[in-house]
Amino acid sequence: MIPHSPTGTIHGVGLGPGAADLMTLRAHRLLSDARYIAYFRKAGRAGRARKTVDGILPCDVTEFPMEYPVTTEIPLDHPDYNETLSGFYATCATHLRTLVETGEDVVVLCEGDPFFYGSFMHLYTRLKDSVPVQVVPAITGMSAAWTATGLPITWGDDVLSVVMATLPAADLVRHMQSADALVVMKIGRNIDKVRSALKAAGKYDDAWLVECASLSEQTVQKLSQAEGRVTPYFSIVLVHGQGRRP
């Protein structure tokens, strides 16, 4: 049960795909009035979420950067990976809980939408039953990516599948074959596996690669025109649906 004594609120605020002017008015209001903010980042980096809100935060805001103890140094299926991250999320949640129990509101910056493959979800599940938590939804990175291609992603009865490039190759092919429209995320060093899976699924020639959607460094091209290219972390591969239309 959420306690009845005066407490603050944790706001998981979706920032959208990265362009500040694609942020919601609610997100902008919370950020403009924030006294405490928290955000994830890789150690030694400023953090993409933090960069997105430059110029919006009050000058006296107190910041709590949550630095991942591991990113790609340990394979995802290694037991140490989950154990290390679980402890990290628990420590972060404890710190945030302590703040709101003193009556402070905390805005947690979330890239994209907080409930769509975001790290905030791991805090949410640890906090929602003990302190007030509110979530501000946002435009997803994939929405910005398919908009950048200038083509609708789905028509009529098209089935859209969102697939993680971290899946085994056979699973990638299976999901790609069954989808009418396709979004592939978490590409990074998996780009060659994605290319091979698309070819096996017969969809390679229709695939698009969008890098850094909505940002000044955005690039949009057919995937077949980017052979041999090293893709940045914020890359999405798309295959547009061709379903029923009037």
State the chain's mean pLDDT as an integer. 93
Which residues belong to CATH 3.30.950.10 in the chain? 142-239
Q: Which amino acid, 79?
A: P
Query: Quick one: pLDDT at residue 71?
Result: 65
Is the model more confident about 72 or about 40? Answer: 40
pLDDT (tens digit, 9 = 90+) per residue, 177-233? 999 999 999 998 899 999 999 999 999 999 999 999 999 999 999 999 998 777 887
pLDDT tens figures, 8-45: 999 999 999 999 999 999 999 999 999 999 999 998 88
What local confidence, expressed as pLDDT, does residue 2 receive? Answer: 45
The count of other CB atoms within 10 Å of the CB of residue 217 is 9
What is the residue whose two structure tokens read 């030694």? 44
Residue 4 has pLDDT above 60, yes or no: no
pLDDT of res. 78: 67
Q: What's 112's DSSP letter?
A: B
pLDDT of residue 72: 59
Burial of 246 (0-12, 13-18, 19+ CB in 10 A): exposed
CA distances for 173 relative to 117, 158, 164, 197, 204, angstroms:
21, 18, 11, 5, 11
CA distance 67 to 45: 9
User: Would you state the CATH architecture of domain 142-239?
Assistant: 2-Layer Sandwich (3.30)
CA 139 to chain centre: 10
Query: CA-CA distances (angstroms) from residue 20 to 17, 112, 135?
Result: 9, 11, 18
Q: Which CATH class is domain 10-139?
A: alpha beta
Kindly tell me the sign of the dihedral angle through the C-alpha atoms of 183, 76, 114, 219.
negative
Is it the case that residue 171 has pLDDT exceeding 80? Answer: yes
Confidence bin at 75 (pLDDT 50/70/90): low
What single DSSP character describes residue 243?
-
Residues of the chain within CATH 3.40.1010.10 domain(s) are 10-139
The C-alpha R_g of the chain, in whole angstroms, comes to 20
Rounded to two decimals, the pTM is 0.90
Quick: pLDDT tens for 111-168: 999 999 999 999 999 999 999 999 999 999 999 999 999 999 999 999 999 999 999 9
